Amino acid sequence: MAPIGKKRKRGDRYGPIEELTFNPEARQEYLTGFSKRKQARKDHAKEVAIKREKEEKIKERKALREQKKQEVEEHVQAVNEELKKQNALINGDESEDDFEGFENTEGAAEEVLPSDEEYVDEDKYTTVTVEPMGEESEDNDDEVGEAKAEASLTIKKPEHPMKKKRPWQKDGDDKKKVKKKKFRYESKAERAVTRQKQKSRNSKAAAARKKVK
């Protein structure tokens, strides 16, 4: 049987306890401070989360800046490489042999025949005839590279067909229109005279009908 270990005293580690006192205010605060301590823990956790979120945003912005910087550098490098290729092609074209003319030119040029082209407009009909000049004109003119051609233009007015009369058009359209009489309002006195005349005509007509009966 193993020997029983020696029990250490409390005073050896924490020191001797001088006095125990009871504080009712501290007890009351401890018993009623559960909600306050809980709210304090929530506030502390919220502050820690906000701080962590800010740090993450800073890291993300830094990563985006680095990515954009890298993309710009890659784009600049690609543009420079493309410019180098184009310069190499241009320099290569200039370093090629001089132009020695076209090969097998005999029989390649065909005889150019006069050609007629027609252009139709609403009011004009135009015919254009293009004929090439002969070789004799080359001896007379020293100018090189100018187009040599003769063009004859014939302008004709198209014959407009007779316009058909539509069913609703009458033969009397060309005649002068008769002016309509202007409507004039009668005055009060004129209306009274007209009414009196109408009454007298009606009475005479009634008397005539009675005589006929």
Please state which of the ranges 79-93, 124-138, 192-206 shows the lowest mean pLDDT.
124-138
Please state which of the ranges 122-131, 152-161, 183-192 shows the lowest mean pLDDT.
152-161
Rama region for 8: left / alpha / beta (φ>0; ψ in -120 to 50; rest):
beta
130 and 85 in one domain? no
Whether 7 is in a domain gets the answer no
Whether 192 is in a domain gets the answer no
31-47 mean pLDDT: 91
Does pLDDT of 107 surpass 70? no
119 and 89 in one domain? no
Total structural domains in the chain?
Answer: 2
Does pLDDT of 76 surpass 80? yes
| Exposed/middle/buried for residue 208 (C-beta within 10 Å: 0-12, 13-18, 19+) | exposed
For position 136, what pLDDT does the model report?
Answer: 47
38 and 90 in one domain? yes
119 and 90 in one domain? no
For position 61, what pLDDT does the model report?
Answer: 94
For position 152, what pLDDT does the model report?
Answer: 47
Look up the domain containing 119 and give its range: 114-135+148-158
Does pLDDT of 120 surpass 80? no
Does pLDDT of 52 surpass 60? yes
For position 79, what pLDDT does the model report?
Answer: 93
Whether 168 is in a domain gets the answer no
83 and 29 in one domain? yes
71 and 38 in one domain? yes
C-alpha–C-alpha distance, residues 34 and 141, integer Å: 115
C-alpha–C-alpha distance, residues 124 and 104, integer Å: 46
How high does pLDDT run on average in the chain? 72
What's the pLDDT band for 144 if we cut at 50, 70, 90?
very low
83 and 48 in one domain? yes
For position 198, what pLDDT does the model report?
Answer: 92
Selection from 77-81, 131-135, 166-170 with the highest mean pLDDT: 77-81
Beta strands in the chain (DSSP E): 115-120, 125-132, 149-156
Phi/psi of residue 40, nearest 5 degrees: -65, -40
